[in-house]
Amino acid sequence: MANTQGLFGGTQGNLNSVPAPVKQTLSTNYIDFIAGSGSDINDWRQQYLPELMAAEAEVFGNRTISGFLSQVGAEEALMSDQVVWSEQGRLHLRYTGRLKASGGNVIDGLGADHGIRVGDTIVVSNKTANTTVKAYVTHVDGYDGASQIGGASAMGDGEITAIGYKTGSNPFGTSDSQDLEIFVYGSEFAKGTTGRNEVLTPSFQSFSNKPVIIKDKYEISGSDAAQIGWVEVSGEDGQSGYMWYLKAEGDTRQRFSDQLEMTCIEAEEATNTVLTGAKIAGSEGLLAAITDRGLINRATLTKDEFDVILGEFDGQGAIEENMMYLDRTESLVIDDMLATQNSYGTDGTSYGVFNNSSDMALNLGFTGFRRGSYDFYKSDWKYLNDYSTRGLKNSPADNTSRVRGIIAPAGVSSVYDENLGRNLKRPFLHVRYRSSQTDDRKLKSWVTGSVGGNITSDLDAMEVHYLSERCLVVQGANNFCLLD
């Protein structure tokens, strides 16, 4: 057991199933006999012999919940304390403002640094009055470009004055403080006038995230380690020999692997001074990123409500292909929604195409559909169904804080990497793990103690340590939708 790095799933080598001719505990013939199955680790007070393993019923099936990020994301090394990236801003100018006074032409609430200039032609929509007016911008607070029509006037920070192209009273509304939606569609200047003096600088948003250090530990006494389980195997190529395993260590390692993914999904940035004072900074996980920068839907997914989501996607990146990862309840809701669009009469069964054979098993589920210009591929997310994770909150007895699922864009995005200084194509989700030439912290494991041939102390036990340092980068979170 001298090869401690990688012995239990570390980074310096794989666990090769190479049988030994005699019963030797080598790193090359270690196996996790029933990885990810069986009862809770605390019920294993000693390492049982292989012939007793049959008594352990796999009542929870495959217990691991990891795999989501490996399907939709990628992994990449990180050498710094944080990862910083930039995302493009919108190309066109759109703002939300307010009518300053009843019957007036002054619009405020745009902010002091908006990009509307004198000479711009704009569309002003008043949702309360259900009116839309096309107007010409005549005054802008602090504007130093072309001459303002009608002379300067006392104006507050960022306020603009616009004149409707058509005559009429109260062009933008009939009462003050009504919300207005404004976007610039062009400009117009009279003959012989000077050009623009002010320049619009493209905007971008910069984001960052910090990796967190995740640890776990497994320990077995020297006496219990002497009761290692052995399995005699015969290889297909004629080789035969013995493999050894420790059941409880396999459970610990599998649980740690699951927690690496759960941390990337659930992590929160710490603002509590008690934690930050102890240098516990947290990180931004997937759910936090979508809540902060993405779309959120809390309504039942009827066809009409789904069309609302499509409208939101149209206003964002309009990415054609999307993946839906759902809990059981929401998956069935979408199945029922699609069934009503594909049914002969009330409660009909025209799902798919079939020849009405009596031996046919009717498929009442859907794996994908297309609506408008968008394709959606639906999949159950075990993390939301398992009662030992999010499934506890999604159970009928406790629907508080329920996460019904997420809609994630497929494909890659172009992003400017602040560290590399260039644009890169990356998946919208990718895990950054800490790594350098001297230390790879993607998934480390090492053994200490005096048991198993790896003597590092006088402790009569074998301790297996696990460590990883990683975070999740969510690019283009505005294209994600959280169903909660």
Among 173-187, 335-349, 403-417, name the one with the lowest average pLDDT: 335-349
Assess whether pLDDT exceeds 90 at residue 223.
Answer: no
The 3-state DSSP class for residue 248 equals helix
Among 157-166, 255-264, 361-370, name the one with the lowest average pLDDT: 361-370
For residues 221 and 460, is the Cβ–Cβ distance under 8 A?
A: yes
- Please identify, in words, the CATH class of the domain defined by 94-201: mainly beta
With CA atoms as reference, report the closest residue to 97 among 178, 35, 25.
Answer: 178
Mean of the pLDDT values across residues 429-436? 90
With CA atoms as reference, report the closest residue to 384 among 321, 465, 328.
Answer: 328
Cα distance between residue 96 and residue 68, in whole Å: 38
- Residue 221, strand partner residues: 461
Cα distance between residue 181 and residue 141, in whole Å: 19
Phi then psi dihedrals of residue 293, to 5 deg? -125, -5
371 CB neighbour count, 10 Å cutoff: 14
Amino acid at 387: Y
Cα distance between residue 473 and residue 76, in whole Å: 10
Cα distance between residue 86 and residue 423, in whole Å: 9
Phi then psi dihedrals of residue 435, to 5 deg? -160, 145
pLDDT tens string 44-92: 333 444 443 433 455 666 667 777 887 777 788 888 888 888 877 777 8
Q: What is the pLDDT of residue 287?
A: 94
For residues 135 and 184, is the Cβ–Cβ distance under 8 A?
A: no
Assess whether pLDDT exceeds 50 at residue 36.
Answer: no
Q: What is the pLDDT of residue 472?
A: 93
pLDDT category at 6 given cuts 50, 70, 90 is: very low
- Long-range residue pairs from 149-152, CB within 8 A, at least 24 positions apart, any chain: 149/118
Assess whether pLDDT exceeds 70 at residue 125.
Answer: yes
Do strands 295-297 and 481-483 pair parallel, antiparallel, or not at all (unpaired)?
Answer: parallel
Cα distance between residue 248 and residue 47, in whole Å: 7
Q: How far is CA 71 from the centre of its chain?
A: 12
423 CB neighbour count, 10 Å cutoff: 11
Among 43-47, 93-97, 135-139, 326-330, name the one with the lowest average pLDDT: 43-47
Cα distance between residue 412 and residue 182, in whole Å: 32
pLDDT tens string 153-177: 556 678 888 999 987 777 888 777 7
3-state secondary structure 89-157: CCCCCEEEEEECCCCCCEEECCCCCCCCCCCEEEEEEECCCCEEEEEEEEEECCCCCCCCCCCCCCCCC
Helices (H) and strands (E) in the chain, counts: 8, 23
Among 166-180, 229-243, 247-261, name the one with the lowest average pLDDT: 229-243
167 CB neighbour count, 10 Å cutoff: 7
- Residue 212, strand partner residues: 470
Give the residue extent of every domain in the chain: 94-201
Cα distance between residue 118 and residue 184, in whole Å: 11
Phi then psi dihedrals of residue 392, to 5 deg? -65, -40
Termini Cα distance of the chain: 48
Whole-number average pLDDT of the chain: 77
pLDDT category at 457 given cuts 50, 70, 90 is: very high
pLDDT category at 38 given cuts 50, 70, 90 is: very low
For residues 9 and 253, is the Cβ–Cβ distance under 8 A?
A: yes
Assess whether pLDDT exceeds 50 at residue 34.
Answer: no
Q: 21-42: string of b/e by CB count within 10 Å (b at 16+)?
A: eeeebbbbbbbbbebbbbeeee
Q: What is the pLDDT of residue 286?
A: 93
Mean of the pLDDT values across residues 190-205? 79
Element of type H or E holding 247: helix 247-266
Assess whether pLDDT exceeds 60 at residue 426.
Answer: yes
Q: What is the pLDDT of residue 169?
A: 74
Q: Give Cα separations from 418 to 88, 241, 247, 412, 474 (angstroms).
A: 13, 53, 45, 18, 15
The owner of tokens 């380690």 is 225
pLDDT tens string 296-329: 999 888 889 989 999 999 888 888 889 999 998 8
Q: Which residue has the higher pLDDT, 152 or 81?
A: 81
Q: What is the pLDDT of residue 186?
A: 93
Structure tokens at 262: 């759960």
Among 283-297, 370-384, 388-402, name the one with the lowest average pLDDT: 388-402
pLDDT category at 470 given cuts 50, 70, 90 is: very high
For residues 213 and 205, is the Cβ–Cβ distance under 8 A?
A: no
What is the value of pTM for the model shown? 0.71
DSSP labels for 295-306?
A: EEE-S---HHHH
Mean of the pLDDT values across residues 135-163? 72
Mean of the pLDDT values across residues 263-291? 93
